[in-house]
Amino acid sequence: MTQTPEVTGFYEKRTGSVQYVVADPATKKCAIIDPVLDYDEKSGATATIQADGILKHIAVNGYEVQWILDTHPHADHFTAADYLKRKTGAPTAIGEKVVEVQKLWKDFYNWPDFPADGSQWDKLFAEGETFSVGNIPARVMLSPGHTLASITYVIGDAAFVHDTLFMPDSGTARADFPGGDAQVLWRSIQDILALPDETRIFTGHDYCQGGREPKWESTVAEQKATNSHMSKHLTEAEFVSAREARDKTLPMPKLILHALQVNTNAGRLPEPESNGRRYLKIPLDLLDAAWD
């Protein structure tokens, strides 16, 4: 019998991100998935409002943090993994293909001395690797396409898919970032939809389609039946054609150049310079996308 973890989602309105606390009710052990470090690109201010809210929830429920997990290096928000590790002592983890993303962005940022070996995390998960949250078994599925390093965490009957599938009314994630590939994304989604129909699917973003309230939970059965892309584009060729055409019309996420230099470093902000200030480095004319 598949075990059912308690899943609590925390919606971050500024970037449409969903963060999760996934707990084993029997042992009170939990994992934090895809936490957000608050960042305002207009002022350059950072804060820990979201992460502190997660920590409050954990304290109120008497949970013990066992893992701090990211599904991939995010392009639209900073990860709070480093902050939460310092607060809880729990290990950080991500998929092992993060080293490929690090190699790519190390060159983009002209960081010759940056260690592109994944050593910034405590654990790099391989395809099919297993772990647990309390007594609930978990495993890792490699889910590239949106990025080179994207993974899905299957914890009991819950799958955390982040940027592969959105809610059924919102379709699928874009595949035009550096290292992205619509054909690879299609295949990753097929693997996810091959999970049991009753598997709960938890997405990493929601953009409130049609002005509705934020949502982030569906099932494999619902995704197969009603996902606005997967129920319409029934072959790989159809999906790739539609996905690539749509991606060509999209502007780049406003924080991609800000976020990748933090998220390829496991959420560590740049070291302070001689005046005590931290500085981000923005490469000009690197990415080509539609203007918004």
pLDDT per residue over 71-108, tens digit each?
999 999 999 999 999 999 999 999 999 999 999 999 99
pLDDT-based confidence at residue 290 (cuts at 50, 70, 90): confident
Query: In this structure, how many other beta carbons lie within 10 angstroms of the beta carbon of residue 208?
Result: 15
How many Å apart are CA 207 and CA 13, to the nearest integer?
A: 9
* Percent residues over pLDDT 90 in the chain: 95
The per-residue pLDDT for 1 is 59
Tell me the pLDDT tens digit for each residue of 14-24.
Answer: 999 999 999 99
29-33 and 64-69: which strand pairing?
Answer: parallel
Tell me the pLDDT tens digit for each residue of 256-267.
Answer: 999 999 999 999
Q: Is the pLDDT of residue 291 over 90?
A: no
The per-residue pLDDT for 69 is 98
Residue for token pair 């072959």? 235
Tell me the pLDDT tens digit for each residue of 226-255.
Answer: 999 999 999 999 999 999 999 999 998 999
Average pLDDT over residues 43-47: 97
Q: Is the pLDDT of residue 5 over 70?
A: yes
pLDDT-based confidence at residue 225 (cuts at 50, 70, 90): very high
The per-residue pLDDT for 260 is 97
Average pLDDT over residues 211-224: 97
The per-residue pLDDT for 288 is 82
Average pLDDT over residues 154-172: 96
The per-residue pLDDT for 111 is 96
All domains in the chain, ordered by first residue: 6-263 (3.60.15.10)
Residue for token pair 């009991």? 156
126 touches 96 (CB < 8 A): yes
> How large is the C-alpha radius of gyration of the chain?
18
pLDDT-based confidence at residue 175 (cuts at 50, 70, 90): very high
pLDDT-based confidence at residue 2 (cuts at 50, 70, 90): confident
Q: Round the average pLDDT of the chain to a whole number and report it.
A: 96
How many Å apart are CA 187 and CA 165, to the nearest integer?
A: 12
